[in-house]
């Protein structure tokens, strides 16, 4: 079985991994506060849905000595199968250990990418993931940049290059696929 290859691909739980990029405390302090709250809430919704649906969750930290750990409310919600990949390069794809973490699930070729900063680390990572042959989905309401215009610019770039720009709720319901799914109520309740 392969991933959904339609003109508008859908996130499929059997093929998905959730990647949280650099959602760190000191970096968060530089973000627009009202937008940050929404992004953190949406990242946590996706983490919770992923845990309910047995979807792997992977995280990275950029220069944690300078930018601190992952935001406490996100860190507390994460299943710690892998320690966050520590990195100094902007693209996760060049960080030692990152490829091993995402390739530990070889049938999961869809990556849902969330976190900070949209126009730097997220942009460079999704470009690398796409080169590696992954199908990449970016929930626009679960990523952030210090300046909204930078985020909007990179979302336009992503769309024009085949990255699937989606929203958090779409991901949750695409993972479910059917209202008769045994986990429907648990996931649906995250979006009420």
In this prediction, residue 2 has a pLDDT band, given cuts at 50, 70 and 90, of: low
pLDDT at 8: 85
Q: What is the pLDDT of residue 7?
A: 77
Task: Provide the CATH topology of domain 13-190.
Answer: Rossmann fold (3.40.50)
- The DSSP output letter for 55 is -
pLDDT tens per residue across span 99-117: 988 998 999 999 999 999 9
Judge residue 146's burial from the number of C-beta atoms within 10 Å of its C-beta, 0-12 exposed, 13-18 middle, 19 or more buried.
middle
Query: Is residue 118 pLDDT above 70, yes or no?
Result: yes
pLDDT digits (tens, 9 = 90+) for 3-60: 555 678 999 999 999 999 999 999 999 999 999 999 999 999 999 999 999 999 999 9
Report the pLDDT averaged over residues 118-130. 97
Query: Which has more confidence, 1 or 159?
Result: 159
Domain boundaries, the chain: 13-190
The answer on pLDDT for 1 being more than 80 is: no
86 Cβ neighbours under 8 A, 6+ residues apart: 60, 61, 64, 95, 97
Rg (CA), the chain: 15
């Amino acid at each position: 079985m392969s991933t959904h290859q339609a003109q508008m691909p859908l996130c499929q739980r059997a093929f998905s991994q959730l990647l949280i990029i650099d959602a760190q405390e000191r970096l968060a302090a530089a973000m627009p506060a009202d937008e940050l709250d929404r992004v953190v809430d949406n990242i946590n919704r996706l983490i919770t849905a992923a845990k309910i649906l047995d979807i792997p969750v992977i995280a990275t930290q950029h220069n944690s000595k300078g930018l601190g750990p992952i935001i406490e409310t996100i860190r507390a919600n994460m299943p710690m199968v892998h320690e966050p990949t520590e990195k100094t390069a902007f693209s996760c794809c060049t960080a030692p250990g990152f490829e091993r973490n995402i390739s530990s699930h070889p049938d999961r070729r869809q990556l849902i990418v969330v976190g900070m900063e949209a126009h730097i680390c997220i942009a460079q990572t999704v470009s690398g993931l796409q080169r590696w042959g992954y199908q990449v989905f970016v929930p626009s309401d679960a990523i952030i940049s210090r300046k909204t215009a930078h985020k909007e610019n990179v979302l336009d770039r992503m769309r024009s290059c085949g990255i699937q720009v989606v929203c958090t709720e779409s991901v949750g319901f695409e993972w479910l696929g059917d209202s008769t799914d045994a986990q429907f109520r648990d996931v649906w309740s995250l979006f009420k």
